Amino acid sequence: MFFASCDPDRENLSLYSNADGSWVVSLPAEEVPPELPEPALGINFARDGMKRGDWLALVAVHSDAWLMAVAFYYSAKFSADQRKKLFDLINSLPTTYEVLSGKGGKKMKVSVFVRKKKMDEEFFAGLFFLLAATRFE
């Protein structure tokens, strides 16, 4: 259970998404600077100082921000047009925060699809976050 895994007595923890769409609460990357943008650190420390709903919203908003960072980190070599296409794909789905707050349609599992796509003249790893929902609890 997400709530229990965020024990404030543990070290600094972050919520990571795996490429298969699952989420896991884990210690931060040991590598510094990290290979990829890192999600918000220490979400467990905030757990018991806030209303549960507010805390879940905070984690969801940080997770959405982090997914954008990862997507645009991977697409650093995209052209502006390619970035726009990527953004439109991401934006065609509700954010984690919207789903959590009931604005994003029915609850479902977060899915993250990574696919390669030929864009213009070059191959890039096209990272399409097909965000839907997550049941944190």
Residue 119 binding its own copies, by CB under 8 A:
no
The DSSP bridge partners found for residue 26 are 14
Residue 102 CB partners (closer than 8 Å, separation 6+):
none
DSSP reduced 3-state for 31: coil
Residue 88 binding its own copies, by CB under 8 A:
yes
Q: Which residue has the tokens 């502006």?
A: 80
> Are the CB atoms for 82 and 124 separated by under 8 Å?
yes
Q: Which is nearer to its own copies, 21 or 68 (CB)?
A: 68
DSSP reduced 3-state for 7: coil
Residue from 17, 23, 56, 70 in contact with its own copies (CB under 8 A)? 70
Residue 89 binding its own copies, by CB under 8 A:
no
Residues from 9 through 68 that contact its own copies (CB under 8 A): 12, 32-34, 37-38, 40-43, 45-46, 58, 61-62, 64-66, 68
Q: Which residue has the tokens 């997507």?
A: 71
Kindly list the residues in this chain that would bind its own copies in the complex (CB under 8 A): 12, 32-34, 37-38, 40-43, 45-46, 58, 61-62, 64-66, 68-73, 76, 80, 83-84, 87-88, 91-92, 94-95, 97
